Amino acid sequence: MRRNQSILDLEIIAVKIRRNVLEICRQRGGYAAQGVALADVTAALYFDEMRPDSEGWFHDRFVLSNGHDAIMTYGALAETGHYTIEQLRTYNEDGSQVDQSPIEGQLGFEITAGSLGQGPSQAAGLAWALRQQGSDKRVYCLFSDGELQEGNVWEAAMFAAHQKLDNLCFIVDNNDMQASGRAVDVLGVEPVPEKFEAFGCKTRRITGTDMAELLDTFDEARATKGQPYVMICDTRLWDGIDCLQQALPMAHYTAKAAVDWDEGLAEITATLSALEARRDG
């Protein structure tokens, strides 16, 4: 289902999404580290995998369960033109319509996200309803490894497998970091693939920053019949911006004063220039 986007084209988009995330969060801080790390997943999803409709939006549906990762969606929708970067710079500001954890009906968001673990069951219900209607729309749901500590996630997996919802693709951001610390220390969730397989899902564990692997996995998900598909994307906070990943202690939330935003943007600018030179040369 390629849209004539090369891997290099998508990698360039991912870098632009990272740049947008930094531009959005530098005003007041936020969940920038997750948005940066998920940029490749986001570029593959929004710019290649989900089919466009005839009205300038998407034919397929995306459910964001972990509301704090809204920053990745904002970063992508700045590139599609659905938000301006000026609008997004009001992120988490008093009175802003650009919520840090968005509500249902806000452009780009299917559900009110914030109570973690709720998205998978809502996505499964949506996928079931679409199938009942005879729709060919696919449903994608992103949630975090910390949400695997919630029983609701496993009820959703059980329901989706029982109903053979092959129009449903779960995407797990497996970054081993949650508000209270590392997931492995708070309440370990591994082995993630084997657990979903035990519930009847087809799974694949990949590197969440490898564009070729992401595209191949989305292809495999679409080709899978009779089972929901779970792609477990191993990421680490700040993946894609070396100076921030190496210099900062890993934390779920990034305060404004904790980051040298200019240093991160300088690295992003250099990376983008190098990729564009490869493309144009």
Q: State the pLDDT at residue 281.
A: 85
Evaluated on CA atoms 204, 11, 242, 69, the torsion sign reads negative
Confidence label for 1 from pLDDT (cuts 50, 70 and 90): very low
pLDDT value, residue 53: 94
**Angle CA(100)–CA(142)–CA(108) in degrees, nearest 5?**
50
Judged against a pLDDT cut of 70, whether residue 117 lies above it is answered with yes
Q: Does 2 score more than 60 pLDDT?
A: no
- What share of the chain has pLDDT > 70, as a percent? 98
Q: What pLDDT is recorded for position 177? A: 85
Distance of CA 184 to the CA centre of its chain: 21
- Residue-wise pLDDT for 37-90, tens only, equals 999 999 999 999 999 999 999 999 999 999 889 999 999 999 999 999 999 999
Listed in order, strand segments (DSSP E) in the chain are: 61-64, 139-144, 168-174, 202-207, 229-234
* CB distance 72 to 34 below 8 Å: yes
What is the chain's length?
281
- Domains observed in the chain: 7-280 (3.40.50.970)
pLDDT band at 254 (very low <50, low <70, confident <90, very high): confident
CA distances from 55 to 52, 58, 104 (A): 8, 8, 20
Which of 95-104, 230-239, 246-255 has the least mean pLDDT? 246-255
CB 49 within 8 A of CB 96: no
3-state SS class at 275: helix
Closest CA to 160 of 188, 205, 197, 200: 200
What mean pLDDT is reported for the chain?
Answer: 93
Edge to edge, the sheet with strand 61-64 lists: 61-64, 139-144, 168-174, 229-234, 202-207
Our measurement of the distance from residue 275's CA atom to the centroid of its chain's CA atoms, rounded to an integer in Å, reads: 22
Cα angle value 235/48/218 (rounded, 5°): 55
Contact status, residue 172 vs residue 123, Cβ threshold 8 Å? no
What per-residue confidence (pLDDT) applies to 4? Answer: 66
Mean pLDDT calculated for residue range 133-146? 97
Contacts of 99 (CB under 8 A, 6+ apart): 70, 92, 106
Which residues make Cβ contacts (< 8 Å) with residue 118, sequence separation at least 6? 65, 111, 152
Q: What is the pLDDT of residues 29-44, one digit of tens each?
A: 889 999 999 999 999 9
Both tokens of 61, joined, read 């549906």
107 has pLDDT over 60: yes
CB of 33 closer than 8 Å to CB of 237: yes
Q: Give the pLDDT of residue 101.
A: 85
Query: Is 250 or 196 the better-scoring residue by pLDDT?
Result: 196
pLDDT of residue 252: 77
pTM over 0.85: yes
pLDDT at residue number 23: 94
| 155-209 pLDDT per residue, tens | 999 999 999 999 999 999 999 888 878 888 899 999 999 999 999 999 999 999 9
For 256-272, write each residue's pLDDT tens digit: 888 899 999 999 999 99
